[in-house]
Amino acid sequence: MSSSGAKLSRVKRSQQLSAAAAALCALQVVDTDKMWSFVWSSALPLLVSLSPAVLFLLQLPDYTATQEGHWQDYKYGHHGSELHNSKRFCTWKCVLFTLQWPGAFCQSLDQETLCMIPPSVNNWTIHGLWPFKVFHCCNCWPMFQSDVQELEAELTEHWPSLLKTKPSFHFWREEWEKHGVCAACVEGMNSPIRYFQICLKLRQQFDIHKMLEDAGITPSCERPYKVAEVHQVLAPHLGDKHEIQCVTDDQDREVWFQVKIPLSRNLTVGCDHQGDAERDPALGSGSGWNRSHGHPCPPRVPFYYFPIDHQQPQRPCG
């Protein structure tokens, strides 16, 4: 077999494994009276496609559904969100869409030397889309690189890893397995590709850099800003409940590094069910970012909006 043929074979097998895992995941969350109909219509055909011997061992009849059809179901989501058809699974009412500013990301790390800013990154980047008040979440839906292959260029631009120790795909996979599978009970986000497409659309909608620039608020090492003036600019676009987050650098300066935008389940701005989102364990941090370092920017203390420095990302302003 040629190298290209072998590569295609590996991609196809990873797709099959993903689909089988998604089908098995469904068995954990659907109601009992619906489980067997789901097994016959979805889960077993996927498993059979991976191991023909199962047909003999289980003496199953032939199935007319094609392997490709089941892969399309997995990739673009199961109609009606069969994978998350349990009320206890889809308990959340709100999500936080979180954007981070690369110019201050390094200051949010315990070890600043882990930080890097790719040369192509010159704007706000996505940190994640996080459902909160999630009480049960499927942990059996893995993600492979082929799942988001067609979005890779956009994700690399708008959702890069800023850690030397974490490739961008590992960052995306971590966000999917920790938060995306919780969001997948909503039909528009019920597969990896759909979840990431939604995130990219939200990033396009919330162009913070342009909003600020149009109001004369630009990155600077000299000029500090107040929460009230930035909030006044962003509120018409992000809603009144958005949160401007800072970290404190080693010179005790408040430095702006993140914005959290609460959205309702239908992704409209604002959410009345927000409550104690900050205490939600589902919003915990990944490796390298100590979540306790991030805090709402103090309303009475001016903060800095540092410029991006690709050569010295840890010390953009000395």
Under DSSP, the state recorded for 90 is -
Tokens (6 digits) for 114? 């882990």
| Pair 186, 81: CB distance under 8 Å | yes
User: Are 270 and 285 within 8 A, CB to CB?
Assistant: no
Q: Is residue 310 among the annotated active site residues? A: no
Name the residue type at position 315: R
Residue of 175, 177, 243, 254 marked active site: 175
Q: Which residue is catalytic, options 70, 78, 84, 127? A: 127
Tell me the three state secondary structure of residue 95: strand
Active-site hit among 78, 84, 158, 179: 179
179 has catalytic annotation = yes
- Which residues make beta-bridge pairs with 262? 96
What residue type is 252 in one-letter code?
D
CA dihedral 68, 74, 75, 81 (to 10 degrees): 140
Q: Which of 240, 243, 281 is nearest to 100 (CA)?
A: 243
Sequence-ordered list of residues with C-beta below 8 angstroms from that of 92, at least 6 positions apart, any chain: 131, 132, 133, 134, 182, 265
- Alpha carbons 51 and 264: distance in angstroms, whole number: 42
**Helix, strand, coil tally for the chain in percent (to 5):** 45, 15, 40
Residue 242 annotated in active site: no
Residue 293: half-sphere exposure toward Cβ, Cα within 13 Å: 24
Annotated catalytic sites, by residue?
A: 127, 175, 179
